[in-house]
Amino acid sequence: MRLKKLKEEFEKNKKIYDSKKLKFIGVDGFDVYNPSIPFKFQNKTYIFGRLEKREEWARSWVRLFEKTGDDTYSLIQNSMIYQLEDPYISKIGDEIVMGGTHVRYSKGEIDTYYGYFYRGLDINNMYYFTTGPDYMKDIRLIELDNGEIGVFSRPRSKEIYKKYGSESIVGFTTVKSLDELCADKIQNAKVVEGLIHNDEWGGCNQCYRLKSGKIGVIGHQSYNDNGVSVYMNTAFVFDPITFEVSDFKIIGTRSCYPEGPSKKPDLVDCAFTSGICKRNDEKVNLYSGIGDCEAGRITIDNPFAKDEIIW
């Protein structure tokens, strides 16, 4: 299998300069995992985290935390509680956009799930403004050089598997403003060919403008290995004009992060990507959920060193 071979090669030659778990204060009894990347607002650093009890599944909340120490984040008391999973953050114009997955139940069973999107000028006062398509997670936005907004989709269905041999694939489209973002636009995004191969699945987690006009994407790709769902941190460069994908690479695996538990036995090799953040040197910090019950940070070489990021 392609990804398994790439993983083996990466782990033989990986360069990890620092590896830490994130500590979350004020949430006793809950795991915090699959967070957004840390971000600044009014000279403070924050992070959105997914809260869930270890013995439960698909019963998550997203809460806001403030950085209060090295790799340590404290719950903002009385902050908004979002009934979401796997939050992410982006900056579009002057606004902050936060997205995550909302799971809908019917008669006590999971019925479907959507991407929910919130926007605002104040991280403490975000407004829900649109919903993504049925059964689609990991929709990501990025402001482009021309002022439009790039939208990465992640369709997943029996039809997708039949056509592409993959459990999920990635698409891309653009909208002129946040007001145009809707389920139909996202659902009809053009497929990015050649990124996800047979018996794999994956998606985009955080996107970065590059000086070339291309997009640097930090994502995840996954495969099943004898009943274990293997999730890895990946990176690639995407050309929004030609749809060409280049410089695909694995940048992190579960073994890069400190040892720890997993929510279920089949998630022992799970590193669900958040994204990268700038450092004061040439390297970057890569953030990730680990084992579907914790979060970690590793320091790595900049995966887009060939094409400078517009931070």
Is residue 116 scored above 90 in pLDDT? yes
297 beta partners: 20, 287
pLDDT grade, residue 70 (50/70/90)? very high
Give the end-to-end CA distance of the chain in Å, rounded to a whole number. 35
φ/ψ (deg, to 5) at 68: -125, 5
Contact by Cβ (8 Å): 209, 310: yes
Residue 36: CB atoms within 10 Å: 26
Is residue 274 scored above 90 in pLDDT? yes
Is residue 127 scored above 90 in pLDDT? yes
Is residue 139 scored above 90 in pLDDT? yes
Q: Is position 187 within any domain?
A: yes
Q: What are 257-260's contacts with CB under 8 Å, separation 24+?
A: 257/19, 257/21, 257/288, 257/290, 257/296, 257/298, 258/19, 258/20, 258/21, 258/296, 260/21, 260/290, 260/291, 260/293, 260/294
**CA distance linking residue 239 with residue 244, whole number of Å:** 5
Is residue 299 scored above 90 in pLDDT? yes
Q: Is position 296 within any domain?
A: yes
pLDDT digits (tens, 9 = 90+) for 194-232: 999 999 999 999 999 999 999 999 999 999 999 999 999
> Mean pLDDT across the stretch 296-302?
98
Query: What integer pLDDT is reported at residue 82 of this predicted model?
Result: 98
- Helix, strand, coil percentages (3-state) for the chain, rounded to 5, are 10, 50, 40
Q: Is position 307 within any domain?
A: no
pLDDT digits (tens, 9 = 90+) for 44-58: 999 999 999 999 999
The two tokens of residue 219 are: 């994502």
Q: What is the extent of the structural domain holding 212? A: 2-301
Q: Is position 10 within any domain?
A: yes
Query: What integer pLDDT is reported at residue 102 of this predicted model?
Result: 97
Q: Is position 311 within any domain?
A: no
- Which H or E run contains 46? strand 44-52
Contact by Cβ (8 Å): 214, 302: no
**CA distance linking residue 136 with residue 265, whole number of Å:** 25
232 beta partners: 221
Q: How many domains does the chain have?
A: 1
User: Between 118 and 110, where is the model more confident?
Assistant: 118
Q: Is position 310 within any domain?
A: no
> Mean pLDDT across the stretch 108-129?
95
> Mean pLDDT across the stretch 110-128?
96
pLDDT digits (tens, 9 = 90+) for 178-203: 999 999 999 999 999 999 999 999 99
Query: What integer pLDDT is reported at residue 150 of this predicted model?
Result: 98
Q: What is the mean pLDDT of the chain?
A: 97
Q: Is position 68 within any domain?
A: yes
Nearest to 195 by CA among 244, 146, 259: 244
The two tokens of residue 178 are: 């946040």
**CA distance linking residue 158 with residue 179, whole number of Å:** 31
**CA distance linking residue 103 with residue 96, whole number of Å:** 23
Give percent of the chain above pLDDT 70. 100
CATH of the domain at 146: 2.115.10.20
Is residue 1 scored above 90 in pLDDT? no
Looking at this protein, which amino acid is placed at residue 61?
W
Nearest to 272 by CA among 248, 254, 284, 256: 254
Q: Is position 15 within any domain?
A: yes
